[in-house]
Structure 1
């Protein structure tokens, strides 16, 4: 699989990065966008490997910094003069995703934009306990298998695990506070794309919202992942301190997400 970071700035778009957005390509060529925060569509246009008309979309949750470029994606898919979408792709999101996105793109609040012309809308299905691909609810996206688990955030939010036909897998946290569900769900993953909004170790930050570097490192260690990619660090965040917090818990490979970063695994 190949992962391209389209945007990784936490909570708001930053001067050097769009807000949350990631492109994933499976070994069979299936394309998936994970979240579409402000600035992500512009980043896609700077990334030749990504055709916005040929992507499935998965939303972790519906906060603006993770979904606000979606109405513009609809315009591209419907009206691009030479490269519109020619098939419906899958869109996986929270229960509220369809009405939320349709209202965001509608002409008036009482006239939502029906997105079913271009997307087959599905709702995250969650499993429980230790992750087991043989029994966990799953969506098939080409040869990719998409699994979900509940995150802990201020709104309906999900952890996502995507597994390729060759067995490689990534786990994307979206936004979540520390939760015992994460290491059980991410067990043995090749890559954990983990939010680390609260800096080194959080301190007196609000509960039930986000993770810090040390939380991300702990989750990576307990899950036994190969690589930890720290992301969702806001423009005012301290990347070095966040890395230091993660390293205090995890001895494996740790990377800081950067716009345009490409990882193959």
Structure 2
């Protein structure tokens, strides 16, 4: 069984009671943390110790997707029994800023950094990871995790791109950025998506379940769900802290 636990799904900054992007994916006792954004670590620690994370995947370097990597590494490096170095996968240079929050020697032994190269498959515990380069304000890697015959696809933050269909093809779950319900402002249209866009991608790709994430802070989920339902007739949800999916 593959289990997905949503730690947060708030875009840009954490709203009251909500964390930014963060997803825990588990299979065969292996735990992958995807996008440790603002305020995700306390939610993670409510159920999983920092040293129990086996790998971290980061789609891009915006802090609402990676800021809590710093306290996660602090918790591992400064604890009573520091675990082995944590494998961290991200686009090249995406984590330069967050890793510079502490002196290099303080956290050096707590992680091992790997660059994500689109088109190259990775074996991460019981998972196969495939990645695609998707358009955003900074380099962004779309992620497709396959394990136990199940597929979890995640867009990170992205504008329209033909690669999305391949990323999401026949996925059991698509976690799709949907910052706006129906229309992305012109200045952001090449770099962000709407719930309407996410529904269209899910329908074309034959996705079994669509989870909308990265909604603008303090917005209601109903407009996003209604917009996605215009183009997708499968199972729909909004990523909120505590949501758990078992595949």
Superposition TM-score, scaled by structure 1 size: 0.87
- Structure 1 consecutive aligned stretches of length 4 or more whose deviation exceeds 6 Å: none
Deviates more, 1:151-160 or 1:138-147: 138-147
**Partners in 1 of 2:182 and 2:218 — Cα distance?**
13
How many Å apart are 1:100 and its aligned residue?
3.0
The runs of 5 or more residues in structure 2 that have no matched partner are none
1:88-107 alignment, distance < 5 Å: 88-106=85-103
How many Å apart are 1:204 and its aligned residue?
4.7
1:181-192 alignment, distance < 5 Å: 181-192=163-174
How many Å apart are 1:233 and its aligned residue?
0.7
Deviates more, 1:252-261 or 1:237-246: 237-246
- 2:113 paired residue number: 121
What is the DSSP-based 3-state SS (H/G/I as helix, E as strand, rest coil) of the residue aligned with 1:105?
coil
**Partners in 2 of 1:171 and 1:125 — Cα distance?**
17
What is the DSSP-based 3-state SS (H/G/I as helix, E as strand, rest coil) of the residue aligned with 1:80?
coil
The runs of 5 or more residues in structure 1 that have no matched partner are 107-111, 128-136
1:5-16 alignment, distance < 5 Å: 5-16=6-17
**Partners in 2 of 1:91 and 1:175 — Cα distance?**
19
Contact 1:14 1:235 in 2 (8 A): yes
Q: Is it true that 1:61 corresponds to 2:60 in the alignment?
A: yes
How many Å apart are 1:105 and its aligned residue?
2.6
- 2:130 paired residue number: 147
What is the DSSP-based 3-state SS (H/G/I as helix, E as strand, rest coil) of the residue aligned with 1:41?
helix
Cα pair distance change 1:201/1:97, threshold 3 Å: closer
1:16-165 alignment, distance < 5 Å: 16-26=17-27, 28-46=28-46, 48=47, 50-55=48-53, 56-81=55-80, 84-106=81-103, 112-113=104-105, 115-127=107-119, 137-164=120-147
How many Å apart are 1:102 and its aligned residue?
2.4
**Count of residue correspondences:** 245
Q: Is it true that 1:195 corresponds to 2:177 in the alignment?
A: yes
What is the DSSP-based 3-state SS (H/G/I as helix, E as strand, rest coil) of the residue aligned with 2:188?
coil
Contact 1:102 1:113 in 2 (8 A): no
Structural RMSD (CA): 1.6
Deviation per residue, 1:109-165 (Å, 9 max, x gap)? xxx4574412221111212xxxxxxxxx2111111111110111000111001100x
Larger strand share, 1 or 2: 2
Superposition TM-score, scaled by structure 2 size: 0.93
What is the DSSP-based 3-state SS (H/G/I as helix, E as strand, rest coil) of the residue aligned with 1:44?
helix
Contact 2:73 2:111 in 1 (8 A): no
How many Å apart are 1:203 and its aligned residue?
5.8
Cα pair distance change 1:115/1:138, threshold 3 Å: farther
